[in-house]
Homo-oligomer: A and B are copies of this chain.
Amino acid sequence: MAEKITSRAQDYSQWYIDIVRFAKLADYSDVRGCMVIRPNGYAIWEKMQAALDRMFKETGHVNAYFPLFIPESFIQKEAEHIEGFAPECAVVTHGGGEELQEKLYVRPTSETIIWSSYKKWIQSYRDLPILINQWANVVRWEMRTRLFLRTTEFLWQEGHTAHATETEAKEEVLRMIEVYRHFAEEYMAIPVIVGMKTESEKFAGAHETFCIEAMMQDGKALQAGTSHHLGQNFAKAFDCKFQTKDGSLEYVWASSWGVSTRLIGALIMAHSDDKGLVLPPKLASRQAVIVPILKGDKAAVLEKAVELEKMLKAAGVQVFLDDSEQNTPGWKFAEYELQGIPVRIELGPRDVAAGKCVVARRDTSEKETLEIDTAFPQKIKDLLDSIQTGLFERALRFREEKTKVVTTYEELKAQVEVGFAVAHWDGTPETEAKIKEETKATIRCLPVSKDFATKYGINTEGKCVFSGNPSKQMVVFAKAY
């Protein structure tokens, strides 16, 4: 904490980098564009994984693992897919000291290698559905990288499902984008817009892509998760047919969906402040820290601190005690604010004498003095809940302040400088491309969230903000990470 965090007002990008570095979340490695996820950052990912994995299992999915390497011929089987991914792949040309006969691509995503297995596993409708998820690393050769948000290698999960009907596949696509929405809002405390991508923004090889879009504190959008309706594209590419109940042969329907360590970047950008990281309690591996003020009757203070720690642990609060004498309480306050510990409990000799302690919440910096009695652990748990919902509400208010319906191109240009612009669009890729070229804003999605659609009157007819041509619904424009 010798160095000071750059303020958001001064330089938002540098602020982000400072948080990541000073809170020891990640480092660039000596390999171009690849990051080291440090223990503080990885602890957040573990919390995310645990919550998501439970939700995947509750919705009937199982985990499996497919190879890191994809033969070049596989990548080439789906035309849009090769066009989208081949240019950004890392390619293995040598193995075991010899040049390979066929190049191997390090997976940028696993549709092709997984469908080459599904082809072997699926013969009949009895083999369907297949509901598999994989936790894995993937590699995409990025030109400009940013820790967590865009790195050459990142960690993610990718669900890959196979179905007998298009209806079932589409249901799965929407079920999983809803799982992501729930996770973003309930765990990350980040409000998101569920929507559909335009043709030019959808996944290479998908029929439709659904996404959740979040707003960061600089008003930019961040795509936090996607769920793809793949139609029969990959089944056709791998000639994967199944025998239906009535004996005919049909191609299998598919979905795929994923979220990645990019979510950690979203989490940082959504909630943190100029003092450091702010973590929602549900994703904090350390929810509370006890800092004893070791003056006067040190032994009494320490004894009480240990008692508090036990009491809170027994109640299920993930608490730890920092009783080191190497650092001052003031240093510890700053350090744990930087690290985003949601609750700090201060305990001095006078507090101990009075049977009380001082409790500070990280999100608002509010402090209160609480009596240490049997109700104390529940009060801390209530406080953690209140921080969790408070963060969500603050982020929602912020998004609502920075989201405006615009009816002219001038308004749109101004609005995408500060937040989200909701506007009519004529549905053509030409208009989309022109607006992107001139404003650097993209269509984030065609919103499908009911609350959002109702609030902004998304599903009304009107005139395109750019061309003046008829438009059937409004879309969200924003600059994006």
Contact = CB atoms under 8 A, between A and B. Distances in A.
Contacts of A46: 63
Interface in A305-350: 326
Contacts of A34: 67-69
Interface in A139-159: 139, 141, 143, 152-153, 155
Contacts of A326: 126
Interface residues of A, number: 55
A96 interface: yes
A31 interface: yes
A42 interface: yes
Interface string A48-59: 000000000000
A434 interface: no
Which residue of A36, A116, A143 has the most chain B CB atoms within 10 A of its CB atom?
A: A36
A429 interface: no
In the complex, the count of this chain's copies comes to 2
Interface in A47-85: 62-71, 74
11 contacts: A30-B74, A30-B116, A31-B69, A36-B64, A36-B117, A37-B64, A39-B63, A42-B62, A90-B96, A91-B92, A91-B95
Given A43-B62, A62-B43, A91-B92, A69 B153 contact: yes
Contact of A93 (B39, B67, B93, B96): B93
Nearest to A116: B30
A65 B45 CA distance: 10
Interface in A1-55: 27, 29-32, 34-39, 41-43, 45-46
A36 B66 contact: yes
A113 interface: yes
Contacts of A126: 326
A412 interface: no
